[in-house]
Copies of this chain bind each other. A is one copy, B any other.
Amino acid sequence: MELVTGLAAMQARARELERNGKRIGLVPTMGYLHQGHLSLVHLLRPHCHQLWLSIFVNPAQFGPSEDLARYPRDLERDLDLCRAAGVDGVLVPRASEVYPADFATWVVPGPAADRYCGAMRPGHFRGVLSIVLRLFMWTRCRCAAFGAKDAQQLWLIRRMVKDFNLEVELMEGPTLREADGLAMSSRNVYLDVEERREALTLHQALEVGKAAVAAGLPLKEALCAMSKHLAVHPKLQLEYLHITDWESLDSLVGVGGDPAWAGSAGDMDEAGREMALLVAARVGRTRLIDNMRVVRGPLAQSPDPATSSTLQG
């Protein structure tokens, strides 16, 4: 397995691989790898000749009061996991090269980045896009895999790939979960025993919401059921909770994460429609996010007789 730290070396190597007809795949990560990351390696493997993984705890996507300094790191362990997973090369760039002195040019997403996580973490997605685009360029990857857990991130990267006409095929790996349902995350290591138990609530609330949406309950009631489930846990502080259109991520109903966006897709509630449940919360000092894809079940009969008669013709 190759290990590259210099960006000039990476670009030279990528050019060489490409000249030899190799299709390069990339799994961008912040390290401290878990099974979720490794599932992305396996997902991407059949789609490329050379599978690269990048490890870079990107300062630009952390806010000033966030966990950049304490974000977990273990490069030796990460490299062992990569070797075992059959990764061909690992890029571990130096922050001084990624952000040279007087760095000033950014890749900036549109207003869809200002809601949900973006509302809670100003500048976060600018940091994400600015590193992801450059990783794409430096590695010349033709395909790349991202986890479904970061739904809004993936949505904005898809938008960037489309806007910039990048020839990078994006692959989405399903969220891997611990046996009890907690979404895998490098940040789970922050949780103490009690927090770990409360963190489970996020996934449980999504299951509650999924059942309610499938049962055709009004979306406000589904949201209410989820938020009630979250409210009984004293150490859990909800940041946002939304039921959204699956494709646009436009909110159908929700709370938090810039409510100006809530309800912007409110006329899209119909049976069979794919929706997403998005949640973010703090458990103690740890910020966790999760989401679930759900399908709207047959709508429960409306109590409004006028609407009923319209439906009948």
Are B111 and A164 in contact, CB atoms less than 8 angstroms apart? Answer: no
Majority SS at the chain A contact face: helix
Cβ of A71 within 8 Å of any chain B Cβ, yes or no, is no
Are B105 and A164 in contact, CB atoms less than 8 angstroms apart? Answer: yes
Q: What number of A residues sit within 8 Å (CB to CB) of B?
A: 36
What string of 1s and 0s marks CB contacts (under 8 Å) between A157-169 and chain B?
0011011111100
* In the complex, residue of chain B having the shortest beta-carbon distance to the beta carbon of A107: B107
* In the complex, residue of chain B having the shortest beta-carbon distance to the beta carbon of A166: B137
Collect the chain B residues with CB atoms within 8 Å of residue A100's CB. Answer: 162-163, 165
Docked complex Cα distance between A11 and B103 (Å):
28
Are A105 and B107 in contact, CB atoms less than 8 angstroms apart? Answer: yes
- Using A105-B129, A129-B105 as known contacts, say yes or no to A164 and B110 having CB atoms under 8 A apart: no
- Using A19-B18, A19-B19 as known contacts, say yes or no to A104 and B163 having CB atoms under 8 A apart: yes
Cβ of A150 within 8 Å of any chain B Cβ, yes or no, is no
Docked complex Cα distance between A289 and B173 (Å):
51
Collect the chain B residues with CB atoms within 8 Å of residue A167's CB. Answer: 8, 11
Q: Which of B19, B105, B138 contacts A159 (CB 8 A)?
A: B105
Collect the chain B residues with CB atoms within 8 Å of residue A99's CB. Answer: 163
Cβ of A176 within 8 Å of any chain B Cβ, yes or no, is no
Collect the chain B residues with CB atoms within 8 Å of residue A163's CB. Answer: 99-100, 103-105
Collect the chain B residues with CB atoms within 8 Å of residue A192's CB. Answer: none
- Using A134-B165, A137-B137 as known contacts, say yes or no to A104 and B97 having CB atoms under 8 A apart: no
Are A137 and B164 in contact, CB atoms less than 8 angstroms apart? Answer: yes
* In the complex, residue of chain B having the shortest beta-carbon distance to the beta carbon of A10: B165
Collect the chain B residues with CB atoms within 8 Å of residue A112's CB. Answer: 104
Cβ of A7 within 8 Å of any chain B Cβ, yes or no, is yes
Cβ of A109 within 8 Å of any chain B Cβ, yes or no, is yes
Q: Which of B8, B103, B111, B137 contacts A104 (CB 8 A)?
A: B111
Cβ of A43 within 8 Å of any chain B Cβ, yes or no, is no
Docked complex Cα distance between A164 and B106 (Å):
9
Interface residues of A in 103-128 (CB under 8 A from B): 103-112
Are B104 and A159 in contact, CB atoms less than 8 angstroms apart? Answer: yes
Docked complex Cα distance between A138 and B168 (Å):
12
Are B107 and A106 in contact, CB atoms less than 8 angstroms apart? Answer: yes
A177 to chain B, nearest CB (A): 31
What string of 1s and 0s marks CB contacts (under 8 Å) between A65-107 and chain B?
0000000000000000000000000000000011110111111
> Could you tell me which A residues sit within 8 Å of B by CB distance?
7-8, 11, 15, 18-19, 21, 97-100, 102-112, 129, 133-134, 137-138, 156, 159-160, 162-167
19 more CB-based (< 8 A) A-B contacts, given A104-B110, A107-B107: A11-B167, A18-B19, A19-B21, A98-B165, A100-B162, A104-B111, A104-B112, A104-B159, A104-B163, A105-B108, A105-B110, A105-B129, A105-B159, A105-B164, A106-B107, A106-B110, A107-B108, A134-B164, A137-B137
